Amino acid sequence: MHPNSDRERARILELEEAARALDPDKGERDRLMRAAHGFAQHLLSDISKKPAYSHDKSAVEEIRKLGADDGPHPIEQLIARFDESVVRPGLLPSHPGHLAYIPGGGLYASSLADYLAAVTNEYAGVRFVGPGSVEMEDLILDWMARVVGFPATADGNLASGGSIASLTAIVAAREAAGLRARDFDRAVVYATPHIHQCLHKAIRVAGMGETARRDIPVDEGFRMCPRSLSELVAADRAQGLRPWLVLGSAGTADTGAIDPLDRIAEICRREGLWFHVDAAYGGFFALLDEFRPRLAGLERADSLVLDPHKSMFLPYGTGAVLVRNRDALQDAHAYYAAYLQDTVESEGGGRSPAAVSPELTKHFRALRVWLPLLLHGEEPFRACLREKLELTKYFHGEVEKLGFELGPEPDLTVVTFRWVPESGSANAFNQALVEETHRDGRVFMSSTTVKGKFMLRMAALAFRTHLDTIDLALAVLREALERLQAHPERWRPTVAAARRTG
Ligand SMILES: *Cc1c(COP(=O)(O)O)cnc(C)c1O
């Protein structure tokens, strides 16, 4: 042996000893797991008795104080930091009282799936190395395609969320239309003003910020008016422009409005336009036979986006895109690299997820969909969606009884409403009202502006939201209302000023 090699080996073994800290042994794994599991048990037991929202965000700065380069720290200390600085301040999204925006989920079974995905670190980007994880993703995509009524020949991808799924679809739509940079300022996109902003973002990120956009008028329920769409397409053609893409909504984020998808699909077919449907919020309601007619036409889209981290109650980090024409999706996303050459030739089983998405390496998302779906079966998912529709109707009726003015009739699980005070600015009153409910914190509702009116907004979609949560939300509203009526200076600056000076 070379005289240096003993010293060399000793140095390597020293490094190994230090590196082994990254690979805890069985006993240590047990100890770490008990700490994490203990925290989860503590959080989830009696979660509804904890606040849904905390105004006090002062503990957040402790994250910086602890720093990132000053470990090791004991797991108990780190979990306590996580609890105080992350879980408690602001919104607790896994709380039943999360009634704001579009609530997310956090199914327990998915947390276990994420644990197993991370422990095995299965590779979900390329079929050759991760045949099972890719097969599982394909199975989930086939299941979703059946749910929305897409043909078996459709293709898709599990993405990080609705935004990246939308980008994936928009790029496919661009390639399918054969649009090149020189065409962009003649290409026209049609949508209502209520389409999710992530679609405008996707168009810009796809390099197509120069496309013309047409705002399609809506009916009293904020649903696209198909006749106006036809007229605008005809006018654009007459101008020599190139109508390209229609963006429909199966549930807008603002009010949950569902566009008349069937009639829009008909226009798109007749005019040769790509029809994309944003079903991030409403798509999974197609699991309900009685709701399917409300989504008629969804199955005629060229592409659509679903957000399992919303209406399938998964933890954040899973969106899905489905595209009817599988070639369009591959034309937009497939690439080749020499260092991956041995992954290509044996792809008898079909394309890899990396060939239909901007991502190569990605989180093994299919497992967090598959495990809860097969563990629980479809039925509890249906019941949970149905329950949310019923809770929405119930809430709608009850806020009306309390004397609130209501926004449009809900298509899905969002109710918008406002209080009209006897005098003074209704907008100021309702802004103060939503802030009053945030200070209370037992539930968390948000607000929106509809036709210049400041409206409160209740969205029932968190899987832990049940009848007692809705009753609590009504109590919180009633009490907040009483406080504001007893203290007009909280919403009328002139009254506040008069009290200060008087
Ligand atoms: C949430 C949402 C999106 C965006 O999806 P992300 O998962 O947040 O990226 C798009 N459209 C609608 C209707 C949504 O509710």
pLDDT tens profile 96-122: 999 999 998 999 999 999 999 999 999
Site to substitute for ligand 1 among 192, 196, 285, most atoms within 8 A of C-beta? 196
pLDDT at residue 342 in the model: 72
In order of 138, 196, 254, 399, 454, the CA distances from 435 in angstroms are: 45, 25, 19, 18, 13
Q: How confident is the model at residue 501 (pLDDT cuts 50, 70, 90)?
A: low
Look at 227 and 491; give whichever has higher pLDDT: 227
> Is the Cβ atom of 198 under 6 angstroms away from ligand 1?
yes
> Is the Cβ atom of 312 under 6 angstroms away from ligand 1?
no
Distance 310 CA to ligand 1 centre (A): 8
pLDDT at residue 494 in the model: 74
Site to substitute for ligand 1 among 158, 192, 281, 312, most atoms within 8 A of C-beta? 281
pLDDT mean over 213-229? 98
Distance 120 CA to ligand 1 centre (A): 30
**Segment 15-74, tens digit of pLDDT:** 999 999 999 999 999 999 999 999 999 999 989 999 999 999 999 999 999 999 999 999
pLDDT at residue 495 in the model: 73
In order of 124, 130, 143, 225, 276, the CA distances from 117 in angstroms are: 10, 12, 21, 45, 32
Asked if pLDDT for residue 348 goes beyond 90, the answer is no
Atom 6 of ligand 1, residue of closest alpha carbon: 162
**Segment 245-280, tens digit of pLDDT:** 999 999 999 999 999 999 999 999 999 999 999 999
pLDDT at residue 3 in the model: 63
Asked if pLDDT for residue 4 goes beyond 80, the answer is no
pLDDT at residue 119 in the model: 98
Atom 8 of ligand 1, residue of closest alpha carbon: 162
Distance 252 CA to ligand 1 centre (A): 9
pLDDT at residue 213 in the model: 98
Atom 4 of ligand 1, residue of closest alpha carbon: 162
> Is the Cβ atom of 161 under 6 angstroms away from ligand 1?
yes
In order of 2, 12, 15, 456, the CA distances from 6 in angstroms are: 8, 10, 14, 73
Which atom number of ligand 1 is nearest to the Cα of residue 196?
11
Cα-to-chain-centroid distance, residue 280: 7
Token pair of 380 as six digits: 């509890």
Q: How far, in Å, CA of 280 to CA of 292, rounded?
A: 16
pLDDT mean over 481-490? 94
pLDDT at residue 341 in the model: 75
Which atom number of ligand 1 is nearest to the Cα of residue 316?
7
Measured at the CA of 49, the angle between CA 455 and CA 405, to 5 degrees, comes to 20
Q: How confident is the model at residue 498 (pLDDT cuts 50, 70, 90)?
A: confident
Distance 28 CA to ligand 1 centre (A): 40
pLDDT at residue 346 in the model: 54
What is residue 315's DSSP assignment?
Answer: P
Distance 305 CA to ligand 1 centre (A): 9
Distance 459 CA to ligand 1 centre (A): 14
pLDDT at residue 164 in the model: 98
Q: Give bridge partners of residue 224 from the DSSP assignment.
A: 218
pLDDT at residue 169 in the model: 98
Percent over 90 (pLDDT), the chain: 92
> Is the Cβ atom of 372 under 6 angstroms away from ligand 1?
no
pLDDT at residue 493 in the model: 77
Phi and psi, residue 268, nearest 5°: -65, -40
**Segment 113-147, tens digit of pLDDT:** 999 999 999 999 999 999 999 999 999 999 999 99
Asked if pLDDT for residue 497 goes beyond 90, the answer is no
pLDDT at residue 9 in the model: 96
Query: Positive or negative CA dihedral for 234, 236, 239, 242?
Result: negative
Distance 249 CA to ligand 1 centre (A): 11
Which atom number of ligand 1 is nearest to the Cα of residue 165?
9
> Is the Cβ atom of 281 under 6 angstroms away from ligand 1?
yes
Site to substitute for ligand 1 among 102, 285, 312, most atoms within 8 A of C-beta? 102
Helices (H), 221-338: 226-238, 261-271, 308-311, 326-333
Distance 277 CA to ligand 1 centre (A): 12
Asked if pLDDT for residue 502 goes beyond 60, the answer is no
Distance 248 CA to ligand 1 centre (A): 13
Element (H, E) at 372: helix 366-376
